[in-house]
Structure 1
Amino acid sequence: MRTKNTEHEIDLIVERPDRKVVAIEIKLSDGVSDKDVRPLNWLHSQLGDRVVERVLVNTGPRAYRRDDGVAVVPLALLGP
């Protein structure tokens, strides 16, 4: 998803039949900054409870949840 003025971009948005969404951002780095999750948090501020999960997939060594609620998941955990 990309806004018309390209101010916000999110790599993947999965929408369920009940209109709830999971927003996924993909970064090819092992670190995560506030800037990396800004689009996910922006979408959450726009859609509220419709966003049931915000996920940042990266190349890092461990999975964890940030203080802002974004799940950070290493790509290696998603499959063989």
Structure 2
Amino acid sequence: MSNYPINPSTIAAPHSQSPLGANISSASLTTEQEFETGIRIIRDAYRKKIATKDAEIDALYKDLRRRDAEIQ
């Protein structure tokens, strides 16, 4: 047994809604659904980041081809 008292305000309520659940219309999500939603959000953000980087690289290649054409 611990010598430290437990502060009830530091213990999460057993059925509190996670921040991910706030984005979903369904009121009762399982932990697995919340996990899948979180993974989906992260995956979508990563895809968006990669698409932005791909567009930047394409613009650099286009500029490089233009400069090569000017030199020749």
Q: TM-score category by the smaller chain?
A: under 0.3
- The structure with the greater share of residues assigned to helix is 2
> Larger Rg: 1 or 2?
2
TM-score by length of 2: 0.21
Q: Give 1 or 2: higher strand fraction.
A: 1
